[in-house]
Chains A and B, each alone.
Chain A
Amino acid sequence: MTDVLQVRGAKKSYGSHQALKGVDLTVKPGSCFGLLGPNGAGKSTMMKLLTGIIDPDQGHIEVFGLNIRKELSAIHQLIGYVPQDITLYEKLSGKQNLTFFGRMHGIRGTELKKRIAEVLEAVGLTERAGDEVASYSGGMKRRINIAAALLHRPKLVIMDEPTVGIDPQSRNHIFEMIRKLQRDGVTILYSTHYMEEVEALCDEVAIIDHGRIVSQGGLRELLELHAVKAVYAEAAGVSEPPVVDGIVKATQEGKGWVLECDHPLSVLSALSAKWAREGVTVKALELMQPTLDSVFLKLTGTTLRD
């Protein structure tokens, strides 16, 4: 099956600032692909390249096998773009905004009415459709912002940080909507700087930093490959890092210690026996679950900046 997206050696500069420094990316059909990186990493530039809003200085981009330089009009019919900013006309109602975006994608008449009703239902805003967008909460605006990109039944939805600054309820609503889209066979490209969003939604991830993809692959694969193996240990009255065979590095975290090691189970067992012998009151002694946070830290040497 043709890859939904193929990016090879994409470079883009704004004056002297090189936003993308030769990006390679492949997105498989039906996946929810997370593009994870801090602010300024190049995510939005990448999104704009993929939607044809800007041209790359160098590199080759194909969407559904179509060359973005030559077949942009055909690509636009296949993709839905949800920008980072809420781009709606505040003085128009939600329904009027959706009518506008639907028509811009060439949908008319009964089909447009039907699609508007469907997407309003999907984002849970049927009741408020006739109200001016200016009267909506931030979360409601975000939902309509997404709905506007779905009217023409795109096969690829490109979402650029679609949950910035919204309440947990709206975030959950958006997550459910994305999962449903994926179940319906739509491919999602999801850009974010929230680790937990990628962990909750995505099956594939690319980590981008300073305009380069530093790692790319399946979520589990990345975690297994890059996550740091460690044990977390916390006990009453222990102020020095515990010492047992196999610990490579000990770092204080809160009131306990993160003990990096190659064989966590051995360290866990040895430390358990040591503290039992010494009569120490143990408060926590557990294997640390690998997270994207630790992967990002390992790959970039920094935490994910906000």
Chain B
Amino acid sequence: MIATIIRKEILLTLKDKGAFFWLFALPVLFIVIFSSIFGSAGSSTTYKVPYYDADGSAASGQFLERLGEIKGFALEAYEGGSLEEGVKEIKDGSRSYLLVVPAGYGQQVEAGQSAEIELYRDTVADEAVAPVLALLDSVSASYHDYKLRGILAGMGQNEEAIDAIMQPAISIKEVKENATKTNAVTQIVPGYTVMFVFFIMINMIQNLLKDRRSGMLSRLQGTPMKPIHYLVGMWVPNVLVVLVQSTVLLTFGQLVYGLQLGHPLAIALIVLGLAVCATGIGLMLALLVSSENMGIAMVQVIAMGGAIVGGLWFPYEFLPKAVQTIGLFTPQYWAQKGMQDVMIRGMDIGGIGWTLLILFAFGLAGLGVALLRFKKFALKTA
């Protein structure tokens, strides 16, 4: 009986071309777009720094050459015309910033005076300007060090002594504990996989309400079918769809962006837990909502709201503290955390126990509510 309903649902799903777009094509599109924007297909970001050399001296050339050598930044000579035109572009918002070496810079350097470098910037582009400001501070500090070294050498200190004097009071040692390099792809691929999995709930709500509206459920109740047969029969195909959907999206991330999936069985269990969770909640919603529109609205709230507070769109650590606390109560947070634990931190099954427990608990609670609710749901056909 259950197998018959499952078989029928799979046949209907395979004939529903629209579902393929929502479940597979759209998430792939999102992953591609956001990986391109934030991850440059997995490579690190390079900031382009436009500059205008009004001095044109050997000293200004040396300064710019030094800036250009710093990793992560690429200098681009401003080719828009005069300095006035460059400043006008910033004022009208078409450019965020422009680095200017003013006329007289070389003379000031040769005279041993403090030379100014100008950074024209749009006051509302703080985020875009911040890395460039940090770069300039760093270069300025290195010039300061160079000057100090000159003074110390003039005072008769040898190289060894100068090195000892210039030694910073503290130094930062970076210790990378993750098994795999973290980048935008390790956030985007699992994030959008988890987010789009929850949209299966729309399919479930539509199919169950359609069965009731059309009288199909009534008809099936006139057969030897039991409520549990119907619910399991309508639930399992959606679990299978989510398993295929997640496999396709994660494999896409692996093949196209080199995403490291980590322990295969651990990832497979998280995907299974995610499938049970999303479809269990979907089944519960289908039997609780009074109309399709209401159901779709609730799915949007759960899927999109959970994506935001669960850290699917932005790394969880970037979220405000209050939002982080709310996120802990969403299955999306646990699914994403579980996937990143396996992909980035190299955990195996032993490390994802809580994730699995919470995901399966959400799903089974949904199934339980659906079973309790079935009689009332079916009565509405009458």
| A residues lining the B interface (CB < 8 Å) | 14, 45, 48, 51-54, 73, 76-77, 79, 81, 83-85, 87, 89, 91-92, 96, 100-101, 103-106
Q: Known: A84-B215, A87-B215, A89-B8. Is A104-B225 also a contact (CB below 8 A)?
A: yes
Q: Is the CB of A89 within 8 A of B223?
A: no
Cα(A51)–Cα(B8), bound, Å: 23
Tell me the chain B residues, 268-298 only, with Cβ under 8 Å from chain A. none
Q: Is the CB of B224 within 8 A of A105?
A: yes
User: Which residue of chain B is the closest to A50 with respect to CB atoms?
Assistant: B222
Interface 0/1 of B217-233, CB less than 8 Å to A: 01111111100000000
* 13 further A-B pairs in the complex, CB-CB below 8 A; given A76-B224, A89-B8: A48-B382, A53-B222, A54-B382, A76-B222, A83-B219, A85-B214, A89-B216, A91-B12, A96-B11, A103-B1, A104-B5, A104-B223, A105-B224
Task: List, in ascending order, chain B residues with CB within 8 A of A84's CB.
Answer: 215
Q: Is the CB of B224 within 8 A of A87?
A: no
CB proximity of B378 to chain A, nearest CB, Å: 8
Cα(A51)–Cα(B371), bound, Å: 22
The yes or no answer to B379 lying at the interface (CB within 8 A) is yes
User: Which residue of chain B is the closest to A93 with respect to CB atoms?
Assistant: B11
Q: Is the CB of B219 within 8 A of A103?
A: no
6 A-B pairs with C-beta separation under 8 A: A54-B382, A91-B15, A92-B15, A101-B223, A104-B224, A106-B1
Q: Known: A14-B382, A45-B382, A89-B8. Is A81-B224 also a contact (CB below 8 A)?
A: no
Kindly identify which residue among A76, A91, A92, A96 contacts B223, using a CB–CB cutoff of 8 Å. Answer: A76
Q: Known: A83-B215, A85-B215, A87-B215. Is A105-B382 also a contact (CB below 8 A)?
A: no
The yes or no answer to B4 lying at the interface (CB within 8 A) is yes
Q: Is the CB of A48 within 8 A of B218?
A: yes
| B residues lining the A interface (CB < 8 Å) | 1, 4-5, 7-8, 11-12, 15-16, 214-216, 218-225, 378-379, 381-382
Q: Is the CB of A51 within 8 A of B225?
A: no
Q: Is the CB of A83 within 8 A of B4?
A: no
Q: Is the CB of B222 within 8 A of A103?
A: no
Q: Is the CB of A100 within 8 A of B221?
A: no
Q: Is the CB of B221 within 8 A of A104?
A: no
Task: List, in ascending order, chain B residues with CB within 8 A of A106's CB.
Answer: 1, 224
User: Which residue of chain B is the closest to A104 with respect to CB atoms?
Assistant: B223
User: Which residue of chain A is the closest to B3 with respect to CB atoms?
Assistant: A103
Task: List, in ascending order, chain B residues with CB within 8 A of A87's CB.
Answer: 214-216, 218-219
CB proximity of B215 to chain A, nearest CB, Å: 4
Cα(A193)–Cα(B109), bound, Å: 104
User: Which residue of chain B is the closest to A100 with respect to CB atoms?
Assistant: B8
Cα(A14)–Cα(B380), bound, Å: 10
User: Which residue of chain A is the closest to B225 with respect to CB atoms?
Assistant: A104
Task: List, in ascending order, chain A residues with CB within 8 A of B15's CB.
Answer: 91-92
Cα(A46)–Cα(B343), bound, Å: 60
Q: Known: A87-B216, A104-B1. Is A52-B382 also a contact (CB below 8 A)?
A: no
CB proximity of A41 to chain B, nearest CB, Å: 15
Task: List, in ascending order, chain A residues with CB within 8 A of B221's CB.
Answer: 51-53
Q: Is the CB of B382 within 8 A of A81?
A: no
Q: Is the CB of A89 within 8 A of B12?
A: yes
Cα(A106)–Cα(B225), bound, Å: 10
Cα(A89)–Cα(B220), bound, Å: 13
Cα(A51)–Cα(B218), bound, Å: 9
Task: List, in ascending order, chain A residues with CB within 8 A of B381's CB.
Answer: 53
Kindly identify which residue among B4, B7, B214, B218 contacts A53, using a CB–CB cutoff of 8 Å. Answer: B218
Cα(A96)–Cα(B12), bound, Å: 11
Cα(A85)–Cα(B4), bound, Å: 22
CB proximity of A76 to chain B, nearest CB, Å: 5
User: Which residue of chain B is the closest to A53 with respect to CB atoms?
Assistant: B221
Q: Known: A85-B215, A87-B215. Is A52-B11 also a contact (CB below 8 A)?
A: no
CB proximity of B373 to chain A, nearest CB, Å: 17
CB proximity of B367 to chain A, nearest CB, Å: 22
B221, B225, B378, most chain A CB atoms within 10 A: B221
Q: Is the CB of A81 within 8 A of B219?
A: yes
Cα(A81)–Cα(B218), bound, Å: 10
CB proximity of A106 to chain B, nearest CB, Å: 7
